[in-house]
Homo-oligomer: A and B are copies of this chain.
């Protein structure tokens, strides 16, 4: 088997930097037409449409037809699983959380000492 499809999950979809660029734009307002995205991104229209297709498949964007245009909006909640996964590691670089973690571990040690005695 080969590499996992980009449409498998949000992690794979978002690994492509151009798709993150699109997401960043979409976060600023709702209802972007493809043309508007093309102008702001400086990518060819088919490229944008293809990336939007991937984002659509994983549910990261929704579409609204308005006349000839198709208005795209971000569905940010789909990013939550990724956020939740990576957030766990925050404590490893955040000094504040680090000290909280150290204190908690120390308390746990003290507690286990008490239990043993």
Residue numbers of A with Cβ under 8 A of B are: 3-4, 6, 11-12, 14-17, 20, 27, 74, 76-77, 79-80, 82-83, 85-90, 92-93
- Chain A at the B interface: mostly helix, strand, loop or mixed? helix
Chain B residues, Cβ within 8 Å of A4:
15-17
Number of copies: 2
The answer to whether A15 touches B20, judged by C-beta atoms less than 8 angstroms apart, is: no
- Contacting residue for A76 out of B6, B14, B79, B93, CB 8 A: B93
A20 and B76: CB pair below 8 A?
A: no
- Bound together, the chains give a CA A89 to CA B27 distance in angstroms of 8
Residue in chain B with minimal CB distance to A88: B27
Closest 8 CB pairs of A and B: A76-B92, A15-B15, A11-B15, A76-B89, A12-B15, A83-B86, A77-B93, A79-B89
